[in-house]
Amino acid sequence: MAKNETAAVADTPLNKQSKFKYTMHMIGVNKACYIMMFPFMLLFTIFTVIPVIITLPLAFTNFNMAQFPEWTGLSNFYRLFLSDDVFMQSIQVTLIFAVFTGPFSYILSFILAWLINEMHPVLKTFFTFVFYAPSMTTSAYVIWQLLLSGDSKGYINAFLINLGVLNSPNQWLTDTRFILGVCIVVQLWISMGAGFLSLRAGFQNIDKSMYEAGAIEGIKNRWQELFLITIPSMGPQLLFAAVLQISASFTAGAVSQNLVGVPHTDNVAHTIMNHATDYGWIRYEMGYASAICLVLFIAMLLVNKLITWALSKYVD
């Protein structure tokens, strides 16, 4: 034991028992570390870890928030995949949403960050602000509601009528042909968030000697520079932005909820998250809502794994 204490810094333990002792000893030595982390970890556990983990058992129960959860096995999932048409539709909507606000918005924010980086410093600051501003004003959906309002006073209607594109005002927020498109546009509008900033900063961070070396090696234009130097050296930022984008695009739902309401005409913009809200908060079927969330979480983790794997060659 005494030897272990002195060896704590230098040697790694040899057999299993001393390894356990060693770990316990290190925990004792580093008590202060755990105390420093305690406030964060406590709140993090209560409000992030527990909600995520609790979905797993709850998904197999029937739970109405008043009585004790009743174990029902897989019946939530049978109902979800076999008889819930709205859920099937919401998967489809979420996937459409995810494609547009995920990869599309990701590539868009990358391109925008790249283009902004090619500009003069003053313009850089200006454009960064312009593109980041909408994601700071997410509570201001009302502007879009009024811009898109169904009568001819809605700005977009008035503009299009004036141009002669339309003869009569479009019901942007209630016509099934437009709802999904409108929600995607608004989601795109607010999607240049922290990931975009990370990419923007990533461009600035690249060692400029890399570019000089590239120029000597015969790189001629922006495109070659982008694909041969910039992207390979931005792996960590690309991954960070991707993680944030996955989370944002899979859990998209606030936009359609605020813009067109839940439920709305034919549920054409009803995402998985809206579906979970509907069951969890409106009908108090928490077990069923957990099952929906569980499906969503698993999908998110799988996509995350996939992207980490795809970008792993750029991340060292």
Partner 1 sequence: MAKKKKNIDEVKVKKNNRKITASRGGNICIFIFLCLTGIFMVFPIYYAVIQSFKPIEELFVFPPKLYVLNPTTKNYSDMLEVASSLWVPLSRYIFNSFMVSVVVTVCNVFVCCCAAFVLAKCKFPGNAFLNKVIVTALLFTSSATWIIQFLVMATLGIIDTYWALILPSIATPLGLFLMRQSMSTIHDSMIEAAKVDGAGLFRICWQVVVPNQKPAIMTLIIFAFQDAWNKQSGTIVYAEELKTLPTIMQQIAATGIARQGVTFATSVILMLPPLIVFLVAQSNVMETMANSGIKD
According to CB under 8 A, which one of 3, 16, 120, 313 is a site residue for partner 1?
120
Whole-angstrom CA distances from 69 to 95, 97, 184, 285 are 31, 33, 37, 10
Give the CA radius of gyration of the chain. 25
Question: In the window 59-88, what residues touch partner 1 (CB under 8 A)?
Answer: 65
The site map against partner 1 for 86-105 (x = CB under 8 A) is --------------------
How many Å apart are CA 147 and CA 162, to the nearest integer?
15
Q: Residue 71: count other Cβ atoms within 10 Å of its Cβ.
A: 11
Q: Residue 98: count other Cβ atoms within 10 Å of its Cβ.
A: 24
According to CB under 8 A, which one of 71, 78, 129, 227 is a site residue for partner 1?
129
Whole-angstrom CA distances from 310 to 242, 243, 306 are 11, 13, 6
Q: Do residues 187 and 269 touch, judged by C-beta distance below 8 A?
A: no
Give the shortest CB-81-to-partner 1 separation in angstroms.
20
Q: Per rule CB under 8 A, is residue 139 in the interface with partner 1?
A: yes
Contacting range for partner 1; rule: CB under 8 A; set: 80-88, 97-105, 176-184, 270-278: 270-278
According to CB under 8 A, which one of 21, 27, 70, 261 is a site residue for partner 1?
27
**Given the structure tokens 């602000």, which residue do they identify?**
129
Question: In the window 203-262, what residues touch partner 1 (CB under 8 A)?
Answer: 204-205, 208, 211, 215, 219-222, 224-225, 234-240, 243-244, 246-248, 250-251, 253-254, 258
According to CB under 8 A, which one of 36, 74, 107, 213 is a site residue for partner 1?
36
| Nearer of residues 86 and 219 to partner 1, judged by Cβ | 219
| Nearer of residues 253 and 268 to partner 1, judged by Cβ | 253
Q: Per rule CB under 8 A, is residue 176 in the interface with partner 1?
A: no
Number of residues that bind partner 1 (CB under 8 A): 116
| Nearer of residues 27 and 266 to partner 1, judged by Cβ | 27
| Nearer of residues 34 and 78 to partner 1, judged by Cβ | 34
| Nearer of residues 178 and 253 to partner 1, judged by Cβ | 253
How many Å apart are CA 304 and CA 295, to the nearest integer?
14
Give the shortest CB-130-to-partner 1 separation in angstroms.
5
CA 61 remoteness from chain centre: 28
Residue 90's nearest CA partner among 297, 279, 276 is 276
Question: In the window 144-163, what residues touch partner 1 (CB under 8 A)?
Answer: 144-147, 152-153, 155, 158-159, 161-162
Question: In the window 297-316, what residues touch partner 1 (CB under 8 A)?
Answer: 297, 300-301, 304, 315-316
How many Å apart are CA 32 and CA 53, to the nearest integer?
28
| Nearer of residues 162 and 176 to partner 1, judged by Cβ | 162
How many Å apart are CA 22 and CA 292, to the nearest integer?
43
Give the shortest CB-26-to-partner 1 separation in angstroms.
5
Residue 248's nearest CA partner among 196, 199, 177 is 196
- Give residues with Cβ within 8 angstroms of 292, minimum separation 6: 80, 87, 272, 275, 276, 279
Give the shortest CB-175-to-partner 1 separation in angstroms.
19
Residue 192's nearest CA partner among 107, 97, 109, 99 is 109
According to CB under 8 A, which one of 5, 11, 21, 52 is a site residue for partner 1?
52
What torsion do the CA atoms of 67, 73, 79, 81 make, to the nearest 10 degrees? Answer: 140
